Amino acid sequence: MVYEQKIVIADLLKSRGIKTHYTGFSCLVHGIDYILNNNLVHKRFFLTKEIYPEIGKELGISWRNVERDIRTALENAEIFEPTGHFIKTMSLECYTEINRIFRTIH
C-alpha cells in the first residue's frame, strides 16, 4: 500500500502541473506521504518543525532546502497559494483519493 500511496500522491501532484524534475516534487511526495502515514491529515502540524526535517532526513537535504525546493516547484507550476495551505489541501485530497481507491478494491 505504501508504494501505491506514493504513486497516487505523485499523480495528483502532476495533475496540478507540478513537474517531476524539481526536487520540490519529491519533497512534496515524501511530505504528504509522511502526513498520511502519521495520521496528521485532520490534525494541526508544523511544517518547519515536524514535516520539513523529516523530508530533509529522507532526502539528505536541510529543512531550509526542503522549504525552498517546494516553493520553487509550486511557483513554476503557477500555484501561488501559501505552501502550508497547499500541503494541507493536497494531503486531504490524497487521503480522500486513497480511501476511495481502497474502497473500490475491497
- For the cut 80, the answer to whether the pLDDT of residue 3 exceeds it is no
**pLDDT value of position 106:** 55
Q: Give the count of beta carbons closer than 10 Å to the beta carbon of residue 52.
A: 22
Residue recorded with cell 513537474: 19
**pLDDT value of position 105:** 63
d(CA 40, CA 29): 15
**pLDDT value of position 2:** 54
Using one digit for the tens of pLDDT, what is the confidence trace for 60-76? 999 999 999 999 999 99
Overall average pLDDT of the 4-12 stretch: 94
Using one digit for the tens of pLDDT, what is the confidence trace for 32-45? 999 999 999 989 88
